[in-house]
Structure 1
């Protein structure tokens, strides 16, 4: 067991130690959201989780937790992003995509789930939890418009698309990337604009 302290008669663990110690006891369907909620809310960091895991020699589902910590360290913030990056838009099939890439538009900076620099294409994986409300949809639309103002096309794939139609998602992205490949003429025109 990791180190504990007593607070008002209760045994208390550091948040990272608590997640590492309890991770394998959670139901399979609860692990990802519990993990990512703690990371998103900044209760823990991927680094603090990695340190806690290193200090704890025996952890149920250690390999799964290690992979999830690595994903969070790369900027993944949800199960949908994790699933999309590991099983749908893999680095092997889409090596040109930069994960968790930041794009500046004026004073604003937007983080994309994936970005292809050559074609100026952003890919977003949208679960209902973060993109389902009218306010979130409006925010996404304004963001997409800002990115479009500098020539970035945003493709959005829903949770259902990623889970139920992964091949369709791959095919759609491949077609868009192929259609947006710059031609030699585009490159010379862009050089003229500089």
Structure 2
């Protein structure tokens, strides 16, 4: 059934385009932009607003998939040229010790 799969920011935006008088439309459009940019938690959204989009930041990639052959994870923010990875929500989302290894 169509309602059993997760939605995407693009699908929600398409419905939003059909609702021009919806209250909070601008705020939802802004949030959808952050989700489309790769934000996946409130801390990542806060980081996007207040840290990672400010002047002087290197090019950043979000939700970069990395694998060590046995496990795959996603880096919240990755500065490729500097080889710096940032995990913003840490133990609050990745609570099990095995989720924090590597």
| Same-fold call, TM cutoff 0.5 | yes
* CA separation of 1:62 and 1:129: change in aligned 2, threshold 3 A: same
> How many residues are treated as equivalent by the alignment?
100
SS in 2 for 1:125: coil
Cα contact 1:81–1:125 (8 A) shared by 2: yes
Q: Which has the larger radius of gyration?
A: 1
* CA separation of 1:112 and 1:91: change in aligned 2, threshold 3 A: farther
In the alignment, what sits opposite 1:103? 66
Taking the TM superposition and a 5 Å limit, the aligned residue runs for 1:1-194 are: 42=6, 44-90=7-53, 92-126=55-89, 129-131=92-94, 136-142=95-101, 145=102
In the alignment, what sits opposite 1:175? none
Larger relative contact order, structure 1 or 2 (CA cutoff 8 Å, min sep 6): 2
Cα contact 1:74–1:100 (8 A) shared by 2: no
Gaps of 5+ in 2: none
Runs of 4+ aligned residues of structure 1 deviating over 6 Å after TM superposition are none
Per the normalisation by structure 2, the TM-score is 0.78
Quick one: distance in 2 between partners of 1:77 and 1:110? Answer: 13
Quick one: distance in 2 between partners of 1:140 and 1:94? Answer: 28
Per the normalisation by structure 1, the TM-score is 0.45
Q: Identify the range of structure 1 (50-59 vs 69-78) with the bigger mean alpha-carbon deviation.
A: 69-78
In the alignment, what sits opposite 1:166? none
Q: Could you say which structure has the higher helix fraction?
A: 1
Quick one: distance in 1 between partners of 2:54 and 2:36? Answer: 16
Q: CA deviation at 1:96?
A: 2.3
Q: CA deviation at 1:128?
A: 5.9
- CA RMSD in angstroms, aligned pairs only: 2.5
Gaps of 5+ in 1: 1-14, 16-40, 146-194
